[in-house]
Chain A
């Protein structure tokens, strides 16, 4: 435990990484078949896998997936646009940064999911309340990163560009945007992840459709294999979406 640079066997690491999931699934299987854990609490892993294959094969997920993706797309479009424009506007003067930045980060520290009951009161149980909440929650990482990105561009670069006679548009296009872009992209990626989470979350809490809603519906009907299948499906969808966004971010970061 002395933290020295002891050589670590790669084979052993891989063995552990394979063994842990295998043991977990084996324990899960034994718990449902041998040790008599109630099927209402934990479905048989084989039954869950069959349910997953059934869900994928029949395309039963398409309706809910479409609802969730639609909400996500609209919410993220709203927060990315408003956060980007608002952040740029704030970042144009140090005074504005010092006024708005602490306010925005204070609100960002509030778990805005608290306001879900209000959003439901205002926008109903349909997609509108999820879009509104997702957009509000993801607005903050986008706007804060945009402010940070544009606000901390090296003054020398700006002065140099000005001295060489750059117009406002040229300054934005060739100095400010390239300098701030990686930070803004990071904010957008964070905003996307947060929007996805809050949309699935608000679907689970109060909704009529969507992937989050479907998991809750299955749990209320005690259809455990189906519920586990849907959980796995939603986790996979989230992983794919996050992977796509991270790849886009990495590509956009390259000059």
Chain B
């Protein structure tokens, strides 16, 4: 036990994490500098050093802007549709019994198979990315919100009803506080879905978004810029996810 506690003092998990990251970066650096053809891999130091040049490439800031815009619009639409549909399915037993199996069935389908149709119907611009993001983001929100609403004890709603609360008051003071934690879980899952949908569509065909530049950098054998761009997007995804998790925890606290 003493050896273990000593180690705990010497290497806290946070420090251990830093060491692991540093070691991975060091391996990557060595591999890229001396072992791998520079056409295929760039050392991390160079990726970071040349980040300025990557974002200075003509069109890249605009591409990131377009992609972020697609993400925001797709997420807003998914949240609006998902929450509305989730509330209806959660509160209305007949709709739930009738439509929930269909929703789950469609949710389970590999949507990637219909990606070419989205391009055909919505064009190669941002509209197809937004649409594909929405179909990926809506379903997790619908399912989570419906489950969250359904878990509210009926007596609470009935009680508010008998005390004269109208539908909107019940929604605001009884249903809303109860669904907030699940709502944020759903929103986080929805955000993951939106990110996946938009990026898939971007990678499939793109004229101005980041998909255009990942293709361009790959075809030019420019791993420095490719890694810079992809790494930045990965970092954005990690930060957004951590943020949503924090919100989820923050709004779920009142229960404990």
Contacts and interface: CB of A to CB of B under 8 A. Distances in A.
Contacts of B250: none
B249 interface: no
Contacts of B93: 3, 5-6, 8
Contacts of A220: 116
Interface string A1-22: 1111110110011001100100
Contacts of B221: 121
Interface stretch (B52-60, B73-81, B105-113, B123-131): B105-113
B157 A2 contact: yes
Q: Is the interface of B mostly helix, strand, loop or mixed?
A: helix
B14 to A, nearest CB: 9
Contacts of B251: none
Max count, chain B CB within 10 A of own CB: residue among A3, A196, A230: A3
B246 interface: no
B196 A99 contact: no
Interface string B2-15: 00100110010100
A9 B97 CA distance: 10
Interface string A76-109: 0000000000000000000100111011001101
B8 A95 contact: yes
A197 B230 contact: no
Given A41-B120, A204-B112, A235-B110, A17 B200 contact: no
Contacts of B204: 204-205
A114 B112 contact: no
A197 B115 CA distance: 13
A111 B192 contact: yes
Contacts of B48: none
Given A103-B17, A114-B233, A109 B241 contact: yes
A205 B237 contact: no
A46 interface: no
A242 interface: yes
B223 A121 contact: yes
Contacts of B149: 3
A20 to B, nearest CB: 7
A183 B40 CA distance: 38
B196 A231 contact: no
A110 interface: yes
A117 B115 contact: no
Contact of B108 (A5, A41, A239): A239
Interface in B80-124: 90-94, 97-99, 101-102, 108-110, 112-117, 119-121
A87 to B, nearest CB: 16
Given A95-B8, A110-B237, A117-B230, A1 B109 contact: no
B183 interface: no
Interface residues of B, number: 63
A4 B150 CA distance: 10
A99 B237 CA distance: 21
Given A17-B98, A116-B203, A205-B204, A212 B154 contact: no
Nearest to B218: A117
Interface string B140-162: 00000000010010100110010
Interface string A145-187: 0000000000000000000000000000000000000000000
B215 A103 contact: no
A100 B112 contact: no
B226 interface: yes
B30 interface: no
Contacts of B242: 106, 109
Contact of A212 (B40, B113, B226): B113
A234 interface: yes
B112 to A, nearest CB: 4
A69 interface: no
B238 A109 contact: yes
Interface string B209-248: 0000011011001010011001001100110011000000
6 contacts: A1-B167, A3-B157, A110-B234, A117-B215, A205-B203, A231-B117
